[in-house]
Amino acid sequence: MTKAVSTGAIDRALTDVGALLSEQVEYRELLMQMVRRDLLLRYKQTVMGFGWAIFMPLVNTLIFSIVFTRVAPIETGVPYPLYAYCGLLAWNFTASSLRFAVTSLTGNGNLVSKVYFPREIFPFAAVLVALVDSAIASVVVLALMAWYGVWGGWTILLLPVIVVVQVMFTAGLALLLAMAHLYFRDVKYVFDVVISVAMFATSVVYPVERIGGLTGRVLALNPVNGIIEGYRAVLLRGTLPPEGPFLAAAAVSVLMFMFAWLIFHRGELTFAENI
């Protein structure tokens, strides 16, 4: 009996997700318009324009390279600037997506309360805008790989798989944060603190496996580690992503994305009254 109920719940969830995907296809032009609008607003009246997508990870890479090559040297297996930039690029995609997704519903209150369309378009647009920024900034990765003579080889063909996993993970969090901020406005301030600390609890600028004891084992559970190390494996080391961590990250990403989307969709009817 329990097995039948569980199977029925899974079937209903998959049916709901299928309906949500169909609705996104129907409103795909609106999603693209939102992405274009957000890109224009983000870089409007800036001197550097899209150059800001490259400038910030480069500055951070320079700072951490000084720290971890001169002050407290660490061994990463590849040139440290390349190691750090690859990690920062992946981290900045998720952090930037979430930073803009948190206020994506409250910042578009007039549209949310007056016009019908899938409300998840707003957090999804935030993720896609950050993906465009990351695509631009990834040019520097190629330049650094050429400079240091580092080339992963055929494993670069697996790069789209890792990108999809990270996009799903980020989109799931974006949906949850956007909805949470709609009901509790202090979520934005808590998020700013958490995201600043979280970078140093992830293998962004140093390998977290160097942290021993219980703390190291807890930090190793972070699914973002598996994603970031997946990028480094296929791009810089020419190896497959670490099997255990990456498969775990992929499973968490898929389940969280489906769960978040269903919860978000079922709460849409109450969004307007909480704007």
pLDDT digit string, tens, across residues 93-107: 999 999 999 999 888
Mean pLDDT to the nearest integer, 212-233: 88
State pTM to two decimals.
Answer: 0.90
4's CB contacts (< 8 A; 6+ apart) are none
Burial class (CB in 10 A: 0-12, 13-18, 19+), 159: middle
Cβ-count burial 21-55 (b if 16+ within 10 Å, e if not): eeebeeeeeebeebbeebbeebbeeeeeeeeebbe
Q: Is 177 in contact with 102 (CB distance < 8 Å)? A: yes
Average pLDDT of the chain is 87
Q: How far apart are the first and last CA of the chain?
A: 42
Mean pLDDT to the nearest integer, 143-163: 92
Mean pLDDT to the nearest integer, 231-259: 94
* Residue 219, pLDDT score: 83
Mean pLDDT to the nearest integer, 122-143: 93
Q: How many residues does the chain have?
A: 275
Look-up of token digits 């849409």:
268
**Per-residue pLDDT tens over the stretch 186-196:** 999 999 999 98
* Residue 271, pLDDT score: 77
More confident residue, 20 or 233: 233
Q: CA-to-CA distance for 165 and 167, rounded, in angstroms?
A: 6
* Residue 12, pLDDT score: 63
**Per-residue pLDDT tens over the stretch 164-182:** 999 999 999 999 999 999 9
Q: CA-to-CA distance for 30 and 95, rounded, in angstroms?
A: 24
Assigned token pair, 1: 């009996």
Q: Is 86 in contact with 236 (CB distance < 8 Å)? A: yes
**Per-residue pLDDT tens over the stretch 24-76:** 778 788 889 999 988 888 777 676 777 778 888 899 999 999 999 888 889 88
How sure is the predictor about 9, in pLDDT bands with cuts at 50, 70 and 90? low
How sure is the predictor about 16, in pLDDT bands with cuts at 50, 70 and 90? low
More confident residue, 125 or 45: 125
Q: Is the predicted pLDDT of residue 205 greater than 80, yes or no?
A: yes
Q: Is the predicted pLDDT of residue 134 greater than 90, yes or no?
A: yes
How sure is the predictor about 234, in pLDDT bands with cuts at 50, 70 and 90? very high
Assigned token pair, 225: 């580690």
Structural domain spans, the chain: 28-274
Q: CA-to-CA distance for 227 and 16, rounded, in angstroms?
A: 27
How sure is the predictor about 229, in pLDDT bands with cuts at 50, 70 and 90? very high
